[in-house]
Structure 1
Amino acid sequence: MKDMLVRLMDLPDVSELESKLLNEGVIFRRPIPPEKSFVKDWVHVNFGTYWANEVDAAFSHLPVHCFIGQKGNEILGFACYEATAKNFFGPTGTAENLRGKGIGKILLIKSLQALKEMGYAYAIIGGVGPAEFYKHTVDAVLIEKSENSIYQNLIRKEQ
């Protein structure tokens, strides 16, 4: 998987979408340290050990380098930034049954805005899966020759 580059100066406004979801009881916020195990466990169950470990790293910063979408006590999605490397966005994921509702888009934009507020003009989306989503949502472009990224020598559990 390749990495993508996104310009942070012209991020789309998602306030209308966020208001719509708020009316449905969905809120978006940064989790706080007492919630670390809940967020990490949810990510582990839904997306696996590697992403749960990156969430763990996101909680090593204050404010936490992660956003969640939630409805009541239910986590609907998450997005991290600077969890594995400086100026990197990801990992991110939305509950499978809720994809397509805009939750992932809001989490992406909130995370990229946080990177912009840290002083970055561009951000790297590492090891991209849904490249078309990022291209369409934030005009991200593939970084040539990025197949061998920060993840290339990742220790893999043998099956």
Structure 2
Amino acid sequence: MDLLVRLYDLPRYDYSRVTGQGTTLRRALPPERGMVADWVETHFSRHWRSEVEVAFSHQPIDVWLATDATGLLGFACGDVTARGFFGPTGVLETARGRGLGEALLFRTLEDLRDRGFAYGVIGDPGPVAFYKKKLDAMEIPNSKPGIYKDMLR
């Protein structure tokens, strides 16, 4: 099932948990397109690479990055698979547990809200309980998990 998030009612998020660790959250820059797309394909999937490339074609770019002195740690996209959708998103295995995924989630959803979306959709989410707890996300009745993957066939 997909989840619906009220963007006009997002909880405030304290970014100091990640920025206090020396992590920067920022919108990707145009010259980073190839590097970020390669990184996403290497660490996640070719399908996600395609979505990242679409997000780079938007103005403003719909790719948010988590970086530190070692380089790229995670990414999140918005408004790519369909209008108002969150994702794909991913964090390096070695960087998980530091709150980066949550920070990227909130930053991406805030951006969707700031661009005029009242609601966001999290399609075929993995950690449903997490999204419900953090965002008060609601299940969309009769939505079909994996329907987006089926569209690729």
TM-score under structure 2 normalisation?
A: 0.92
Letter in 1 for 2:32: E
Whole-angstrom CA distance in 1 between matches of 2:143 and 2:2: 6
Count of equivalent residues:
152
Corresponding residue for residue 10 of structure 2 = 11
Post-superposition offset of 1:25: 1.3
Whole-angstrom CA distance in 2 between matches of 1:129 and 1:137: 14
Corresponding residue for residue 99 of structure 1 = 96
Letter in 1 for 2:12: D
Whole-angstrom CA distance in 2 between matches of 1:128 and 1:87: 15
| 1:51-130 to 2 correspondences below 5 Å | 51-130=48-127
Percent identity between the two aligned chains: 43
Whole-angstrom CA distance in 2 between matches of 1:141 and 1:46: 30
Post-superposition offset of 1:66: 1.1
Corresponding residue for residue 38 of structure 1 = 35
Q: Contact (CA 8 Å) 2:55, 2:61: kept in 1 or not?
A: yes
Q: Unpaired segments of 5 or more residues in structure 2?
A: none
Letter in 1 for 2:150: Q
Whole-angstrom CA distance in 2 between matches of 1:133 and 1:97: 20
Q: Secondary structure at the match of 1:144?
A: coil
Post-superposition offset of 1:20: 3.4
Letter in 2 for 1:13: R
Whole-angstrom CA distance in 2 between matches of 1:7 and 1:20: 24
Are residues 1:153 and 2:151 paired?
yes
Whole-angstrom CA distance in 2 between matches of 1:133 and 1:45: 26
Whole-angstrom CA distance in 2 between matches of 1:3 and 1:38: 30
Post-superposition offset of 1:73: 4.9
Q: Secondary structure at the match of 1:9?
A: helix
TM-score under structure 1 normalisation?
A: 0.89
Q: For the structure 1 residues 20 and 124, does the alpha-carbon distance in structure 2 shift closer, same or farther, using more than 3 Å as the test?
A: closer
